Every structure is written in structure tokens, then in C-alpha cells.
């Protein structure tokens, strides 16, 4: 019965389960003086549910399936936290083989990490993906135009949801990637958190710092993202800014549809490029209180220049009593200087070798 509910057509989604469950909790959810649901609070977005459904997974896990997967993650965390040899040697010369941004040197160990520990539950269902439309739980195909754009963007900075290019082991692959601070990922530059944590759409980064704080007034709703400290201010019942005004997180305007806050965002720049999107990206987010301690977050992404069709995702934001601390990203950002300085030294070294 619950499973069937998952497969309602996309068009009907907005009127479906979330709103129905919101109605049933109508009397129990907190409200502001003007009668709207009060979304104020701190929410922990960390979850094990990935954006896209893993191959072969069903849309919804049974409780037993989810518990088993959650236990595996708990075991891995426990394992990573164990003591190692206090008399260990230095790591191997030539690198430790770590892939991706770890660039053959690794990062830092697991005590710094605070990723999710459970699958998101929506309508009592333990979801295997955030994407719910298309029904296969996968982001639709890129258009030919978007593929061309992505190829041309090889020599631009990575998109807002990347830490670095997935195939970039350090300096070696992407030409010029270390030539200019503006070629570095936005997270590395302390401009926007990686993994689209700032959004829109606001997504978990499966790593750390996934807290979001909502502050609500009658005129505006502010969504503060812990990582890199981005505050998005949603102007209520206002028209969008003129198309000439472009913003890192777009221009967000909001309205109430019944008990759901609908946030409409346009006017993106060409610098964030969520999953390769164009500046014409249009994001509609729906925030619905589903209980005193839960909020359902649903988003629809539309950008005909990028995807062959619009797509929708949703997951629950559980409220938390944890505190959200200031991030102040650039106060200690020695890393960016070290990275650029390292690149210059390597260039000089390579030039010396060449001239010999």
C-alpha cells in the first residue's frame, strides 16, 4: 500500500502524500502569529539516501533492508575509528594510491567525518534515492547542448557540486586547473559548500556540515547553510529580480500554497552550474511541515538547455537540537595558498628538468 503510493504520476505529486500528511498534522505543527506553519529551526540533512538510486535497488527499502545497510555503515565507521599501529612507518614514497581529490596522498582520517547514518523516511517509506521523478530514481539524460557545454567547460572551474574533477589526481590532468584561484572549485575558495549543500536544490554532501537553519518572518525566509556559511534570503510574495541581476544561489522568491512554502529560484550565474546546468536553471522547492520535528523538502529542477525533462527529488529534513556553529571559511584557509604555491613550484621544477 505504502509502496504503491510512491508511484503516483509526477504531476500529482504536489497534491499528494506530503500535503495529505501535512493536513493530518495540521493541529500539531507549530505556527507563526500569521497562521502559517513555523519552519524555524535547525535541521540535519545528513542521510544515507543517495541523490540517485543505486542500480538494482527498489525505490523503497523494507525496514529490515534499511537496517541491514545502516548497520554496514555503522560497522565501517566503527572500524575506521579503531586504533592502528602507534609505531607505524610513514606512508609509501610515491603516494598512497588515493584516487580523486585525495590525489595520491590521502586526506585526514575518519574522526572528522559526520555523514548520515540512516535512510530518509518519507510517508513511512525508507527511500533508496532522493530523486523520485523520473520513476527510475535517476537524473534524466543531459541534452546534446549540455554535453557540448560540459566538454567545453573542461577548462573552467568545476561546478558547484564538485570538490574537484573526479578524474583529477592532483595537477596532472586538467590543463590550467591550478593556474588561477578562479579555476579552483567554489568550495575550495570558500564561496559555496561542495555537494550543492547551499543549493538550490539543497542536498546532503554525505560527508559533514549538513546542518541548515531556517529563520522565518512574514516578509522573508532565510535558509542558512552550515558549510561555508551561505545565507539564502527568500523574499516573500515578490516578483523576481530583472534577468540582468545574477546571483550565486539564484534569486529566490516565496509564497504559501496552503501549508506549503513554495520557493521559486531563477537568475543563476554561469559559475555554479549545478550538475552542469545553464544559467536558465529554474528550481521550485516545497517545504512542508510533516510533524513537529520533521519537514519534507521537495524540489523540481527544470532547465531545458540541460536535461531532456524536468526532474523532482524529495527527502525529509529532521529537526535537531544540535547547534550550528559559524564556519568562517577563509579564516584558516591555508590550503588554497598551499595548492597554488605547490603548483608554481612544480612548474618551476618541471621547467628546470626540461632545460637540462
Q: Which residues within the stretch 292-331 sit at the binding site for other proteins (CB under 8 A)? A: 322-323, 325, 327-329, 331
Measured between alpha carbons, how far is 206 from 82 in angstroms, rounded to an integer? 21
**Binder to other proteins among 16, 25, 40, 98 (CB under 8 A)?**
98
Cell of residue 29, nine digits: 505543527
Distance of alpha carbon 61 from alpha carbon 297, whole angstroms: 20
Least gap, CB of 186 to other proteins (angstroms):
10
Q: State which residue, 4 or 85, has the beta carbon closest to other proteins.
A: 85
Alpha-carbon distances of 24 from 89, 290, 306, 308, rounded to whole Å: 61, 9, 38, 36
Specify the residue, 9 or 94, whose C-beta has the smaller distance to other proteins: 94
Q: Which of residues 202-221 bind other proteins (CB under 8 A)?
A: 205-209
| Residue 341 lies near other proteins (rule: CB under 8 A) | yes
Residue 154 or residue 341: which is nearer to other proteins going by CB? 341
Q: Smallest distance from the beta carbon of 190 to other proteins, in angstroms?
A: 6
State the Cα–Cα distance between residues 50 and 137, nearest whole angstrom.
Answer: 10
Residue pair 313/131 in contact by the 8 Å Cβ criterion? yes
Q: Which of 86, 175, 239, 242 binds other proteins (CB under 8 A)?
A: 86
Of residues 99 and 243, the one with the C-beta less far from other proteins: 99
User: Under the criterion CB under 8 A, does residue 12 sit at the interface with other proteins?
Assistant: no
Of 15-23, 127-135, 252-260, 342-350, the window that binds other proteins (rule: CB under 8 A) is 342-350
Q: Which of 1, 79, 144, 175 binds other proteins (CB under 8 A)?
A: 79
* Complex with other proteins: residue 222 or 343, whichever CB lies closer: 343
Please give the residues from 141 up to 170 whose contact with other proteins meets the rule CB under 8 A: 158, 161-164, 168-170
Helix, coil or strand: residue 211? strand
Considering only residues 241 to 270 of the shown chain, the ones binding other proteins according to CB under 8 A are none
For other proteins, how many residues bind (rule: CB under 8 A)? 89
Report the alpha-carbon distance of residue 176 to residue 117 in Å, rounded.
Answer: 38
For the chain, the first-to-last Cα distance in angstroms comes to 74
Residue 22 as a binder of other proteins (CB under 8 A): the answer is no
Q: Taking CA 162 as the corner, what is the angle to CA 336 and CA 223, rounded to the nearest 5 degrees?
A: 95
Nearest CB to other proteins, comparing residues 8 and 150: 150
In the complex, the smallest distance separating the C-beta of residue 118 from other proteins, rounded to whole angstroms, is 15
Residues 67 and 49: their CA atoms lie apart, in Å, by: 13
Q: How far is CA 188 from CA 116, 167, 178, 184, 238, in A?
A: 22, 17, 12, 7, 33
142 and 150 Cβ atoms separated by less than 8 Å? yes
Q: Judged by CB under 8 A, which of 23, 32, 72, 237 binds other proteins?
A: 72
> Are the CB atoms for 62 and 219 separated by under 8 Å?
no
What are the C-alpha distances in Å from 107 to residues 48, 59, 120, 342, 343?
Answer: 22, 34, 28, 16, 18
Cα 229 to Cα 50, 213, 273, 330: the distances in Å are 23, 10, 19, 11
Contacting residue, 58, 257, 342, 350, with other proteins by CB under 8 A: 342
Residues between 103 and 122 with contacts to other proteins, criterion CB under 8 A: 103-115
Under the criterion CB under 8 A, does residue 3 sit at the interface with other proteins?
no
Per rule CB under 8 A, is residue 76 in the interface with other proteins?
Answer: yes
Q: Pick the binder of other proteins from 23, 62, 71, 308 (CB under 8 A).
A: 71
- Of these, 15, 338, 350, 351, which contacts other proteins (CB under 8 A)? 338
Q: Determine which helix (DSSP H) or strand (DSSP E) holds 346, and give its type and residue range.
A: helix 334-355
Least separation in angstroms between CB 159 and other proteins: 9
Amino acid at each position: 500500500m505504502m509502496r504503491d503510493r510512491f508511484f503516483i504520476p509526477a504531476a500529482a505529486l504536489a497534491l499528494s502524500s506530503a500535503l495529505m500528511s501535512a493536513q493530518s498534522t495540521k493541529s500539531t505543527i507549530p505556527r507563526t502569529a500569521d497562521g502559517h506553519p513555523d519552519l524555524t529551526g535547525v535541521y540535519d540533512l545528513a542521510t544515507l539516501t543517495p541523490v540517485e538510486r543505486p542500480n538494482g535497488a527498489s525505490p523503497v527499502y523494507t525496514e529490515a533492508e534499511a537496517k541491514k545497510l545502516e548497520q554496514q555503515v555503522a560497522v565501517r565507521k566503527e572500524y575506521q575509528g579503531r586504533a592502528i599501529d602507534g609505531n607505524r612507518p610513514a606512508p609509501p614514497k610515491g603516494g598512497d594510491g588515493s584516487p580523486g581529490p585525495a590525489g595520491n596522498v590521502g586526506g585526514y582520517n575518519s574522526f572528522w567525518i559526520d555523514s548520515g547514518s540512516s535512510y530518509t523516511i518519507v510517508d513511512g517509506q525508507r527511500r533508496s534515492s532522493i530523486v523520485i521523478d523520473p520513476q527510475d530514481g535517476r537524473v534524466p539524460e543531459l541534452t546534446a547542448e549540455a554535453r557540448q557545454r560540459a566538454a567545453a567547460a573542461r577548462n573552467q572551474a568545476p561546478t558547484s557540486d564538485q570538490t574537484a574533477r573526479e578524474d583529477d589526481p592532483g595537477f596532472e590532468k586538467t590543463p590550467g586547473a591550478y593556474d588561477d584561484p578562479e579555476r579552483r572549485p567554489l568550495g575550495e575558495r570558500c564561496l559555496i559548500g561542495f555537494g550543492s549543500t547551499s543549493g538550490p536544490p539543497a542536498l546532503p554532501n554525505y560527508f559533514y556540515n549538513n546542518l541548515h537553519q531556517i529563520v522565518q518572518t512574514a516578509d522573508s525566509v532565510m535558509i542558512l547553510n552550515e558549510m561555508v556559511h551561505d545565507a539564502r534570503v527568500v523574499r516573500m510574495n515578490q516578483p523576481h529580480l530583472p534577468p540582468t541581476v545574477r546571483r550565486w544561489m539564484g534569486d529566490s522568491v516565496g509564497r504559501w500554497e496552503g501549508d506549503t512554502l513554495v520557493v521559486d529560484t531563477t537568475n543563476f550565474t554561469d559559475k555554479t552550474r549545478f550538475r552542469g546546468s545553464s544559467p536558465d536553471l529554474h528550481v521550485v522547492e516545497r517545504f512542508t511541515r510533516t510533524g513537529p520535528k520533521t519537514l519534507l523538502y521537495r524540489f523540481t529542477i527544470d532547465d531545458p538547455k540541460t536535461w531532456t525533462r524536468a526532474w523532482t527529488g524529495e527527502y525529509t529534513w529532521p529537526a535537531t537540537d544540535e547547534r550550528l556553529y559559524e564556519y568562517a571559511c577563509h579564516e584558516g584557509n591555508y590550503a588554497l595558498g598551499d595548492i597554488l604555491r605547490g603548483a608554481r613550484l612544480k612548474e618551476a621544477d618541471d621547467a628546470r628538468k626540461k632545460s637540462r
